[in-house]
Structure 1
Amino acid sequence: MLRLSSLAGILAILALAWACSRDRRRVSWRVLAWGLGLQVVFALLILHTPPGRWLFEIINDAFAAVTGYATRSAGVVFGDGGSLSMAGILAVQIAAIIIFFASLMGVLYHLGVMQRVVQGAAWIMARTMGTSGAESLACASNVFVGMTEAPLLVRPYLATLTESELMALMTGGFATIAGTVMALYVGFGAEAGHLLTAGVMSAPGAFVIAKLLVPETETPRTLGTVRLNVERTTVNVVDAAATGAADGLRLALNVTAMLLAFIAILYLIDGLLALADRGVATVLGVSPRGWSLAGLLGLLFRPFAWVMGVRPEDASALASLLGTQVAANELFAYQRLTSLAGETCAVGTGLLQEIAPRTFVVATYALCGFANVGSIAIQIGGIGSLVPERRGDLARLGPRAMAAGALACWLTACVAGLLLTDDRETWSYERLLVRKQVEAGRIAEAAETAHRMASSLAGTDWEEPSLRLRESMERARAAEAALAAGRADEARALLAPLAAQSDLPALRRWAEQRLAP
């Protein structure tokens, strides 16, 4: 039944975009059909085929390793002899993850690896959907780089882009996230495989929504061609790594500043709403209603949450997250999402209830984009600095492109909701619960969660990794008991394998801390 809701959500979002189209008679049904088709194909390949599942796990392991290396480096730099006391501070974790990943991406771009990936993805979209080379390259690159860096790949063509191409370029920036912040969301607790799948799916999804809202009425200059010429600005791998690290530092400072500012602003708004709530309650002689920004946003975006295929009792929580994404940013929304896992949240009846695994995974897809009000200014400023003569077009298209980016993200969530399986949802959600419990030092509770997960996933494609995690958690529980009993040698023997090869970075860090002298 929930999957039927996701299907209805796809139709509803497409109908809304078509109804708001600038010229409904010029809509390209080829873009619509192939765009949706590519979304479904990408999702099926990654989520429902053995090679896709293998790739999914490889991506998860790779990002887990990256975030683990970054956190270790933070422990060495800020800690005492490699301890993670300072690395446990969120700002330090943010900086470590972003700087390391930016440096890694710099090396990959210097070696030409990312250019080949981007050109391949752009070629697929251009050949199937009939989009121009410039907009295809920009949209494909948005999966890996930021919304202000992607236009650099097509800088020679920016001045001559048609309005529809410019709309597609901007929508692609709003509908996807950069690889550097993707690593950050993994650090928050989101699953890398789902994030990358969402980014890949949202690239054609951005074209679908953009071309519905602003159909192509001209002949693009780069129609039928996909040429990627990127000037190499670094002299060798060392220079690329250093340049990437410097870029990452600037991004980390920007992200940290945004988090500080937006979290404070949201608390301020909640305080003002609570004050107004008490004032109204006093005047009317009733009890305060508990006004909050999350509650108001939940009411506004609840229709979109309903059609994404989540439980009705989770719609309010998901709607609040969608509103947070648009009004503030996806950073804060992801942080709130991962904090909800395993916790109770208010539902419409006033009861408290834990969100379902399906809701968590669908929300991971829905929030995977830069579609927020603040990003409008970033796009106008970033792209406008490259082509000042198009600043007026950028300002006029900005709000529409941001809305299109949000719709593209939510369209991706609906497609994912249609194709996701219960076992995958359970694996993603329960694994995060284990991680949170380990980070909180609740090893026995984490072991019970891992045992429950392994039992529920028996006979599925996720049985083997769940059994490995259960075995690791049982080892951790035994090590904790040995430490409590003063059996240090036994504890070290149990902890050593966990510190060396645990699939869960949080558990590996926990073991390393207990092995430290």
Structure 2
Amino acid sequence: MQLLLSLFGIACLIFIAWLLSEQRERINWRTILAALGLQTLFAAIALYIPAGERALVSVSNGVAHILSFADEGIRFLFGDMPYNGFIFAFRVLPLVIFISSLISLLYYLGVIQWLIKIIGGAIQKLLGTSKAESLAATGNIFLSQGETPLLIRPFLPHMTRSELFTIMTCGMASVAGSVIGGYAALGIELKYLIAASFMAAPGSILMAKMLVPETKVQIEQSDIDLDKSEHSNAIDALASGAMSGTKVAVAIGTVLMAFISVIAMTNAGLEYLGELVGWQQLSMQSILGYVFAPIAFLIGVPSTDMQLAGSLIGQKLVLNEFVAYLNFTEIRSELTVQTQVVMAFALCGFANFCSIAIQIGSIGILAPERRGEIAGLGIKAVLAATLANLMSAALAGLFFNL
């Protein structure tokens, strides 16, 4: 039964995207089916094919081993204090700085550019997307939604509306490599985070090309060349990456502190109102749970977990994925194993309303003449990216039941 529900959910997500399409008759079904096939293949490798599962476990173990070296830096600064219980600021945020520094070094050495070219080239050939779209989709596996547009900045002013929308959706459906370590520190399984990051590339193209199909002739992009690092040497790259990671870590900590405080204040008010009308334990989480429970059901969450899972999906959309993952870790023991797997994929993405402002700033500064268009596409991009994340989750639920 769960297998049939997962298939039904996948069909429903595609149908929703079709209903919301600007021009349904212009949808390129070759691109859509190829993107769905590639996203499905990544899910199968991660959750069904034994050799793929073993390879992914090996990769995730390797990444976990690399992340463990951050403990030396944490102990140097704070001693053993961070290890006397779980302290978010000491256990999660330093990993963001460490990974950001490593990614900066890999970019200086040309490793990131090489990976983006290889994977992006394969996506371009398989899906028939433009080179800029393919590189952006791949870039977001490793870089943030604010950094990836730099890879294709000469072409941003001249992109078609569909291409621009695809770039925005890819950024929101993915997560930066620098924050994956932070999610892992919360207890989210690395193998699922890595799989979700790769699945987001074809998944975001799938949903973007359904909601805003290509209607214009794309300009020739054969001369795109990925920028080399501006750092003078490896030490400079490491230091610069650490400083960039510090900004991200401070931003994460600041936003979480504000959001969690506001949630507590809101819940206090809702609890008071609930007592007046006889609704016990009324909260923002419970309201979001009721609203998004049908969505959770569609992606393969068992009926017993629908409200809790729906609440997490709503928190990710309305607030951000860190808040959702934090609450996920707190209630994980109450959820079935299947729900835990599905939610690990569903929450892995930047698709929330705050991302609209981030993209208006990051893409808008590179193409000022398109700032208004970016703002106008913002809500639709959040929706497309959310559908992409939900599709990854539905596919994870499908293969979990095979």
Q: Same fold (TM over 0.5)?
A: yes
Q: Is the 8 A contact 1:122 1:137 kept in 2?
A: yes
Partner residue in 2 for 1:108: 106
1:361 to 330, 333, 341: 341
1:408 to 388, 393, 396: 388
Q: Does 1:63 align with 2:68?
A: no
Partner residue in 2 for 1:171: 169
- Using the alignment, how far apart are the partners of 1:179 and 1:278 within structure 2? 44
SS at match of 2:142: coil
Q: Is the 8 A contact 2:110 2:228 kept in 1?
A: no
- Using the alignment, how far apart are the partners of 1:408 and 1:226 within structure 2? 29
Q: Does 1:242 align with 2:239?
A: yes
- Using the alignment, how far apart are the partners of 2:45 and 2:286 within structure 1? 37
Cα deviation 1:93-147 (Å, max 9, x = unaligned): 2231011111111111111111111111211111111110011111111111111
- Using the alignment, how far apart are the partners of 1:119 and 1:334 within structure 2? 31
Partner residue in 1 for 2:293: 302
Partner residue in 1 for 2:20: 20
Gap runs ≥5 in structure 2:
none
Q: Does 1:254 align with 2:251?
A: yes
Cα deviation 1:238-278 (Å, max 9, x = unaligned): 11111111111111101110110111111121112112222
Partner residue in 2 for 1:312: 303
Shift of 1:376: 1.0
1:264-283 superposed matches below 5 A: 264-279=261-276, 281=277
- Using the alignment, how far apart are the partners of 1:390 and 1:110 within structure 2? 30
Q: Does 1:292 align with 2:273?
A: no
Partner residue in 2 for 1:162: 160
**Identical pairs, percent:** 37
Worse overlay, 60-69 or 33-42: 60-69
Shift of 1:202: 1.4
SS at match of 2:350: coil
Shift of 1:87: 8.6
Q: Does 1:215 align with 2:213?
A: yes
- Using the alignment, how far apart are the partners of 1:268 and 1:120 within structure 2? 48
1:31-50 superposed matches below 5 A: 31-50=31-50
Q: Does 1:323 align with 2:314?
A: yes
Partner residue in 2 for 1:124: 122
Shift of 1:382: 1.2
**Paired letter, 1:218:** K
Q: Is the 8 A contact 1:188 1:338 kept in 2?
A: yes
- Using the alignment, how far apart are the partners of 1:67 and 1:109 within structure 2? 18
Q: How many residues align?
A: 402
Higher RCO (C-alpha 8 Å, min separation 6): 2
1:402-481 superposed matches below 5 A: 402-420=382-400
Shift of 1:88: 4.3
* TM-score, length-scaled by structure 1: 0.75
Gap runs ≥5 in structure 1:
282-286, 343-353, 423-517
- Using the alignment, how far apart are the partners of 1:222 and 1:190 within structure 2? 41
Cα-Cα RMSD: 1.6
Partner residue in 2 for 1:505: none
- Using the alignment, how far apart are the partners of 1:229 and 1:144 within structure 2? 14
Q: Is the 8 A contact 1:137 1:226 kept in 2?
A: no
Q: Is the 8 A contact 2:108 2:228 kept in 1?
A: no
- Using the alignment, how far apart are the partners of 2:258 and 2:246 within structure 1? 18
- Using the alignment, how far apart are the partners of 1:144 and 1:85 within structure 2? 29
Superposed structure 1 runs of 4+ greater than 6 Å apart: none
Partner residue in 2 for 1:484: none
SS at match of 1:190: coil
Q: Does 1:393 align with 2:384?
A: no
- Using the alignment, how far apart are the partners of 2:56 and 2:233 within structure 1? 31
Shift of 1:62: 2.4
Distance 1:222 1:417, change over 3 A: farther
1:363-382 superposed matches below 5 A: 363-382=343-362
Distance 1:288 1:53, change over 3 A: closer
Partner residue in 1 for 2:329: 338
SS at match of 1:44: helix
Q: Is the 8 A contact 2:28 2:209 kept in 1?
A: yes
Partner residue in 2 for 1:198: 196
Cα deviation 1:368-421 (Å, max 9, x = unaligned): 100111111111111111111100110000010011100110011111111125
- Using the alignment, how far apart are the partners of 2:8 and 2:62 within structure 1? 35
Distance 1:300 1:120, change over 3 A: same
Q: Is the 8 A contact 2:116 2:135 kept in 1?
A: yes
**Paired letter, 1:257:** T
Cα deviation 1:301-345 (Å, max 9, x = unaligned): 111111111210101111000000001000011111122222xxx
Bigger radius of gyration: 1
